[in-house]
Amino acid sequence: MTLVAVILTKNEATHIADCIAAVRPWVDQVIVWDAVSTDNTCDLARAAGVLVVQRPWDNFAAQRQAVLDTVGAAWILFVDADERVTPELGEEIGIARQDNTINGYWIPRRNFIVGQEMRAGGYFPDYQLRLLRRGSARYDGYRAVHETVNVGGAEGWLQSALIHFNYQDWAQFHRKQRFYAAYEAHILLQSHIYPRPHNFVLQPLREFRRRFITLAGWRDGWAGLHLAFWLAWYYGFMPYWLALAPSAE
C-alpha cells in the first residue's frame, strides 16, 4: 500500500525544504513535481534527497493528472510547497490509507494569510481532496484552475489539518488573484457565457455577502472585511470584465 507525497512546485525555494521535512516521516516516498523552476527549488529538493521530476507547466489539473498517470503508487498525497503536514495529520493519513472502502480523503486546511490565521470567510475548514487512491482518481481537464477530481468511489474526511502559509504579502495575494480571475474568464468564454451589465453589480455583491456574512468573514475583523472586498472584486467582477475585454488582462 505505497503512499507517495507529491509536491507541485514552480519557484518555491522559500518553502520547499520545510515542506519536504514535514511530510517525509509519514510517507514512503517524496517526489517534487516541478514546472521548470528558474530558482534553486530543484537543487534544494535534490539536496534533501528526494526525486525531482520536471514537467513544463500547462495548468493545475493537467499537472496533477500527469502525476496520477506516471507515479506508480497505491496512494498519492498532493501537498503544495507552502503547506505543512503536521504529526497529527501524518498519523491520521497512515490509518486512513488502510481503509479499502475509501478512494479519496478530504483534508481540512488552516490558512495563514500575510501572517494571520483566518478562521472564517471560507478559509476554515477549507477542505481539499488531496489523498487519492491513484488507480481510480481522475482530474477534470475542463477545470484548469480550482481543479476537481473524481475519485471513482467513496470519499472520507480527515480531522487533522494541513497548515497553509497562504500569501506572504499582499503583493503576492493580488498577483495570484489576477491569475485566477484570468482563468475564470477563460472558462466563461469557453462556456459561451457572456457578461451582461447586471453581472458587474450583482456578482460582486453576492460574493461579498457570501464571504463576509454567509461564511462569517466578519469574525476575522478587519482582515475578514479586507479579504471579502478583494475576493468580491477578483471573483465577482474581474472574470466578467476580462471575458468582456480579454485584452484588459
| Residue 242 and residue 224 share a domain | yes
Mean pLDDT of 216-236: 94
Total tally of structural domains belonging to the chain: 2
Residue 153 has pLDDT above 80, yes or no: yes
Q: How far is CA 23 from CA 6, 8, 68, 71, 96, in A?
A: 10, 13, 19, 17, 16
pLDDT for 216 equals 95
216: containing domain: 170-248
pLDDT for 249 equals 47
Q: Are 131 and 104 in contact (CB under 8 A)?
A: yes
Express each pLDDT in 163-176 by its tens digit: 999 888 999 999 98
Of the candidates 166, 181, 197, which is a domain's last residue?
166
| Residue 97 and residue 158 share a domain | yes
Q: What CATH number does the domain containing 115 carry?
A: 3.90.550.10
| Residue 162 and residue 195 share a domain | no
| Residue 10 and residue 110 share a domain | yes
Question: Omega into 246 within 30° of 0, i.e. cis?
Answer: no
**Mean pLDDT of all residues belonging to the chain:** 92
| Residue 220 and residue 127 share a domain | no
Residue 142 has pLDDT above 80, yes or no: no
Express each pLDDT in 72-126 by its tens digit: 999 999 999 999 999 999 999 999 999 999 999 999 999 999 989 999 999 999 9
Residue 196 has pLDDT above 90, yes or no: no
| Residue 154 and residue 62 share a domain | yes
Q: How many CB atoms lie within 10 A of CB 96?
A: 18
pLDDT for 246 equals 56
Q: Which residues contact 228 (CB under 8 A, 6 or more apart)?
A: 121, 208, 211, 212, 217
Indicate the pLDDT class of residue 1, thresholds 50, 70 and 90. Answer: low
Q: Which of 29-43, 57-71, 129-143 has the highest mean pLDDT?
A: 29-43
| Residue 217 and residue 117 share a domain | no
Indicate the pLDDT class of residue 146, thresholds 50, 70 and 90. Answer: low
Residue 144 has pLDDT above 60, yes or no: no
Of the candidates 139, 166, 193, which is a domain's last residue?
166
| Residue 188 and residue 141 share a domain | no
| Residue 176 and residue 161 share a domain | no
| Residue 64 and residue 48 share a domain | yes
| Residue 181 and residue 156 share a domain | no
Q: How many CB atoms lie within 10 A of CB 190?
A: 11
| Residue 150 and residue 71 share a domain | yes
Please tell me the distance from the alpha carbon of residue 111 to that of residue 119, in angstroms, as a whole number.
8
Of the candidates 166, 199, 225, which is a domain's last residue?
166
